[in-house]
Structure 1
Amino acid sequence: MADMAEMAENETVTDPAVTETAAPSHELSAVEAAARIADGSLSPVDLAQQVLARIRVADPEVGAYTVVLEESVLDEAERAAKRIAQEGPRGPLDGVPVSVKDLYDVAGTPTWAGSSALRRACGTPAAADAAVVARLRAAGALVLGKTQMDEFAFGTVTPGTRNPRCPERSAGGSSGGAAAAVAAGMGPLALGTDTGGSVRIPAAMCGVVGLKPTYGVLPGEGVAPLSWSLDTPGVLSRGVADAALAFAALTGTDTDAFVEPGVVSEPASAEGMTLAVPDDALFTRCAPDVAERVAAAVDLLAAQGARIVRVSLPMADLVSPAVALIMAAEASAHHRGALRDGAELHPTTRDRLEEGALVPARDYIDALRTRQLLHARWQEAFEGVDAFVLPTVAITPVAHGEFFLPQPDGGMDVVPVASTRFAHPASLTGLPALSVPCGSPEDGLPVGLQFMGRPHGEQTLLRLGRLYESLTGGPWPVAEVPAGA
């Protein structure tokens, strides 16, 4: 959790002044905030102050932040305000506050990677920003602080972080702090990382948008690795337009290719699009409410003119075992020093790393070969298809500490497997994927709808996501976070 005592000592942050006709600034989307900053109707300083005020109120209940860089973000906001007044916006995110998962280096701040052992052992601040953080700053973004995560990004629940939409339940992981911060209005955008679903899983659990780009599109320099051949920087936001704006800024793409005054360029319908939906057997591996809402979303897209084809996921039974082997072996290799030196790791983290150290080289190589074969098979599956549509996560958010999940057939599932089952195909193949809230908040606990695309097909996914979002009244609003939740 953020150092709230230190924040309270800084009296430069004041509660936001809210009028009856204007929403609080912390509820603005990134697109709205950037537009208002550019036209002079909102100061970056006022926006930063109101978001920081929201953090002071909400984060003691949510636990999304490990550290809030209050002094530096206000200094950055003041410089941005002067620069914009004199020269106009530096980039598409000028003056917009963004949080960063505690896996990214931020100059002047230690990187703890969600590990209490690293927090105790390492107080050395990073010498430079991670490459993706540097790109955010180049686009004018203000770095709010660092968000909570599973230790070394090896998990799916983010201990210590509560789901703003259902506080008694998990926010998902490993980018759970990032998703919770966005859902609770503690910054309109967040950077996460996605190795086996760690952007998309918490996005689905918290009712926000999560974009995992094509592997390799965004640089990994300055990001503490979990599994270097799977790790992918990603973006979390409340709406698709914000994710599109952030992706355009991070890739140096002309924002007009994604955003037209405040909304993603979207087809008037899904006419002419072909969407592949996994066969019905897949939905027997989902919680009933997840299956029902995803099926309803497919029907809605079909009503908008999409041609729906039923397919079997290529070599589906090999996907998660291959991801698990690759991740375990690479994570253990990277963290061998922590194992050797007897670092006080969380017991689950230590168990996983020790298991990874026992993976035979031939099994790791076989998993890499399986990935190569699967990548080719998935490329074939995309012939004549614009995107795959499937659940993001097989379950709704689980209660804190829940691990075993009874199944209708009398069997048992476990949270890590149920959380990653539908995220792993895009992870293993390196394909881009987008998770959007499925349905509306009135439907019950958050569920994620996942669009998976061709390599470098992010624009198609974002347009599809925006179309679906517009049909369901999205984006979802900021979650209410009552004191003492």
Structure 2
Amino acid sequence: MLQRVSRRSFLRGASAGAVGATVLPGAAGAVPLPRRRTPQLPDPAAVGATDPAQLSALEAVSLLRAGQLHPAELLDACLRRSADYGGGTNAWIRSYPEPAYEQAEAAARRLAQGDAPLLCGVPIAVKDLFAVGGLPLTASSQILESNIAAGDSTVWTRLRDSGAVLIGHTHTDEFAIMTATPQVGNPWKLDESVGGSSGGSAAVLAARFAPLALGTDTGGSARLPASRCGVSAIKPTFGRCSRYGVIPVMWSRDHPAPMGRSLADATLLFDAIAGPDLHDPVTQLAPAFPAAGLPTTAADGAKPLRGRVFGVPMAAAALPAALGALFTGFLDLIVELGGELRDVRLPAEPGGLFDGNAVELGMYHRQWADQVTRLSPFSAAVVEMGLAALSIPSTQYLQFARDRAVYQRAYNRVFTENDLTAIVLPGAATDGMPRVAASAASILGADKVPVTWANFSGAPVIALPAGRSAATGMPFGVQLGGVPWTEVELLEIGLALEAAAPHWREAPPLARSPLRIPEISFVAPGHGPDPTNTDAGAPALSFLPTADATSL
């Protein structure tokens, strides 16, 4: 039976004692990360939320470390809110309350010792692509309905070791192929799309069911739902975060993506999961973050963007009027904070890239070639394209890899030739989208807004809210992209914009809608050998990001 905690009992378990072992098994091969210096946290006395579920991640960390909030109380608030209001959103596919309370108690003991990692005791939602050994991993598909992860993804290993508390897995569009997540309702308007494929993670954040969430981004899969739900996401440089133990869509385009209500919250998560991993060789090439960790607060000064130049590849006139007004307002804010705008043009994506994408998708899904009819009609059509692409000559796939490298350097030249710091693009091209209509949008042609430039180039992008439409009331967000490995500068820019216009604080007016989330505990892990318990091993040939702008 689960033990719930009252608001008066949040210090329970905070007495001195040995730190209990966490309940999840580890994964070998991950390189331990250096301990970061504690960032500037909100003053606990200034935190006004009375319901712990309404706390931002940074606020929760502040109260947890000050001993004014017990991890079990925070977890209890998130589970209670999910149960009371989650019926309309249906963002959770499974929850793990019994082990989560055990993790919360272990986190409390670590916090009491005074030297716990920043995320210790913070609840987190995880997209149903990340393996946690002994727990189901289904990619929201019937094909994997009885699948049990054989081990831990590297990303979850790092979070577990940081003391994070796993609430549950969130819905994804089936195998993360489409960009709608139609089984999930948008907390702002339940018959509207949350975007995808990380739609469940974005909805959990917007609805205040969890302060942090893990998504992935293969073709806008984190940025699109962030825009439609009014939350923030980070698509790191390819190779910054390990893909090991994550069900793939396309190995050379997949990116684990930290998500939060605010960019500052998402940055906390990013700092915890990034770093080299022996299981994912590309991560060995990433330059180290600053020893002090990543910024989580805006720089002082009236003109924090002075000296920075922003390229604008897409005009506001290309958007619906209400979104165009929001995008123009965001560009005006950049100028107000000292930034300079320049019109630019992104390089055209070579047509052969589609064939390479399809091959990678087909290579993974060929293990279920005889079960395609169990997929949804839209997913099945995309998988069948991938399976058909397996017949193309190997030289054509090698040409895809070369075209990709040519494209990436052409993207970098846009920055060098225009002296850019970042580019700015909208996060959505439509003012809302009905869930039914959105179901037909796939990862191969996402949502009519430019997103694949970042996955083909491997470049980092941050996504943050820019307000809500005057016509529909739906959220709208923007993308800020840089050249590979420039996450720190992008975060500094985003935090300045977020501080000047904190749209992330707006919360949807949810109506009570009870939901009984399937509650699961640990069982024997799958046989593997891959943590996902599927044939998910990446090929040796891999895309390598570079900041080089030299022509090939």
For the criterion TM > 0.5, the same-fold answer is yes
Q: Which residue of 2 aligns with 1:480?
A: 509
Aligned to 2:16: none
Which structure: greater helix fraction?
Answer: 1
Query: How many aligned residue pairs are there?
Result: 457
Shift in alpha-carbon separation, 1:255–1:287, aligned structure 2, 3 A: farther
Pick aligned residue for 2:382 from 347, 352, 356? 352
Structure 1 pair 60–255 and aligned structure 2 pair: CA distance change class (3 A): farther
1:405-429 deviation line (CA, Å, top 9, x unaligned): 9xxxxxxx99984615311110110
- The structure whose RCO (Cα within 8 Å, separation 6+) is larger is 2
> Which residue of structure 2 lines up, in the alignment, with residue 193 of structure 1?
216
Instruction: Supply the distance in 2 between the matched residues of 1:446 and 1:236 (Cα, whole angstroms).
Output: 16
When the two chains are superposed, the root-mean-square deviation of aligned CA atoms in Å is 2.6
Q: Distance in 1 between matches of 2:453 and 2:6?
A: 44
One-letter code aligned to 2:76: Q
Deviation at 1:196, TM superposition (A): 0.6
**Among 335, 343, 349, the residue aligned to 1:310:** 343
Is 1:391 the counterpart of 2:417 in the alignment?
no
Q: Who is 2:451 aligned against?
A: 423
Q: Distance in 1 between matches of 2:225 and 2:314?
A: 25
| Rounded Cα–Cα distance in structure 1 between residues aligned with 2:434 and 2:421 | 36
What is the distance in 2 between the residues matched to 1:159 and 1:274?
38
Q: Does 1:368 align with 2:397?
A: no
In the alignment, structure 2 segments of 5+ residues that lack a partner are 9-46, 276-288, 515-552
Q: Distance in 2 between matches of 1:365 and 1:21?
A: 56
CA distance in 1, matches of 2:157, 2:301: 33
Label 1:240 to 1:404 Cα distance change in 2 as closer, same or farther (>3 A): closer
Could you say what secondary structure the match of 1:42 adopts?
Answer: coil
Secondary structure of the residue that 2:408 maps to in structure 1?
Answer: helix
Give the equivalent residue in structure 1 for 2:13. Answer: none
* TM-score, L = length of structure 2: 0.77
CA distance in 2, matches of 1:414, 1:265: 39
Could you say what secondary structure the match of 2:474 adopts? coil
Label 1:416 to 1:395 Cα distance change in 2 as closer, same or farther (>3 A): farther
- Three-state SS of the structure 1 residue aligned to 2:234 is strand
CA contact (8 A) 2:177 2:442 kept: no
CA pair 286-369 structure 1, distance change in 2 beyond 3 A: farther
Residue pair 1:99, 1:191 contacting (<8 A) in 2 also: yes
> What corresponds to 1:244 in structure 2?
267
Alignment match, 1:157: 180
The alignment status of 1:338 with 2:368, answered yes or no, reads yes
Structure-2 separation of matches of 1:310 and 1:102? 39
CA contact (8 A) 2:188 2:229 kept: yes
Q: Indicate the percent of aligned positions where both proteins have the same amino acid.
A: 32
Offset from partner CA, 1:352-395 (integer Å, 9 cap, x none):
11112223235544433221111011111111211001112212
CA distance in 1, matches of 2:56, 2:292: 17
SS at match of 2:323: helix
- Alpha-carbon spacing, 1:72–1:344, altered in 2? closer, same or farther (3 Å): same
**TM-score scaled to structure 1, two decimals?**
0.88
Residue 168 of structure 1 is matched in structure 2 by 191
Residue type of the alignment partner of 1:169? E
Is 2:114 the partner of 1:114? Answer: no
The 5 A counterparts of 1:6-25 are 12-13=3-4, 22-25=49-52
Deviation by residue 1:200-229 (Cα, 9 ceiling, x = unmatched): 011011010011000011011100111001
Shift of 1:482: 0.3
Tell me how far 1:129 sits from its aligned partner. 1.4
Among 479, 488, 509, the alignment partner of 1:450 is: 479
Q: Which amino acid aligns with 1:69?
A: Y
For the residue of structure 1 that corresponds to 2:467, the secondary structure is coil
| Paired position in structure 2 for 1:409 | none
- SS for the counterpart of 2:88 is helix
Structure-2 change in CA distance of 1:15 and 1:348 (3 Å): farther
Deviation at 1:295?
A: 1.9
- Structure 1, unaligned runs of 5 or more: 1-9, 406-412
Shift, 1:117, TM fit: 2.0
